[in-house]
Amino acid sequence: MTSSLDPAIAARLERNPDGLLPAIVQQHDTGEVLMMAWMDDEALHRTLTSGRATYWSRSRREYWVKGETSGNPQHVKEVRLDCDGDTLLLKVDQVGVACHTGSRTCFDEGLLGG
Amino acid sequence: MTSSLDPAIAARLERNPDGLLPAIVQQHDTGEVLMMAWMDDEALHRTLTSGRATYWSRSRREYWVKGETSGNPQHVKEVRLDCDGDTLLLKVDQVGVACHTGSRTCFDEGLLGG
């Protein structure tokens, strides 16, 4: 879709075949990795201009303002693009829990090794 | 390809259409997000059993032991799978720099907003 994203930023993005970039979401002060989600240009535009983390839901095929239904928003402190232009890093202040399971992060339960 | 990955772990993985999962790589003590890379079952198996972060290079179509050519290996402290089974989080001890540009992380130069 057409997006209002700053063309100078849009030109730096290396999107996947679906037009999306993965966004790693990190708690800004503790460094916890909270979750990963996906953004298209418009989700990035909304995130940068609203200060509220906004993603593209691949399953529901709609924009998703984190916390709009759960009551656990992410207030965006910083957005970074990696050296290849294909991955985003959001530093946020997560209100409450990040995971739909009720855990603080989406990785809390999933220890495979180490 | 056939992999020696523990079948109990393999059964939990939700791979993308290319058979891959994104792996977020974090410095275990400082919490810095260093980079993102991709793993298939075999890369995950090698990472879990060798303790050296091993990825699948989508561009070169080969396994890639981080640091083998750069001299900057990642010693793996912990591997976690997220609640959906489709994203990995590696906590590592990064020797030297993570980024091929010579920066400590792949996100150092890419501030978009915040």
Q: What is the pLDDT of residues B5-42, one digit of tens each?
A: 999 999 999 999 999 999 999 999 999 999 999 999 99
Element (H, E) at B7: helix B7-10
Q: What is the pLDDT of residues A11-63, one digit of tens each?
A: 999 999 999 999 999 999 999 999 999 999 999 999 999 999 999 999 999 99
The tokens describing B21, both together, are: 């999962």
Mutate to test the interface with B, among A18, A82, A112 (most CBs of B within 10 A): A112
Q: What is the DSSP letter of A52?
A: B
Contact B82 A36 (CB under 8 A): yes
Q: Which residues pair with B75 in a beta bridge?
A: B52, B93
Rounded CA-CA distance B24/A103 in Å is: 19
Three-state SS at B108: coil
Which residue of chain B has the CA closest to A46?
B113
Provide Rg for chain A, Cα atoms: 14
* Contacts A102 to B, Cβ<8 Å: none
Q: Does A17 touch chain B (CB under 8 A)?
A: no
Three-state SS at A14: coil
Contacts of A29 (CB under 8 A, 6+ apart): A93
Rounded CA-CA distance B107/B6 in Å is: 33
Confidence bin at B3 (pLDDT 50/70/90): confident
The pTM of the full predicted model, rounded to 2 decimals, is 0.96
Question: What pLDDT sits at residue A1?
Answer: 55
Rounded CA-CA distance A30/A11 in Å is: 32
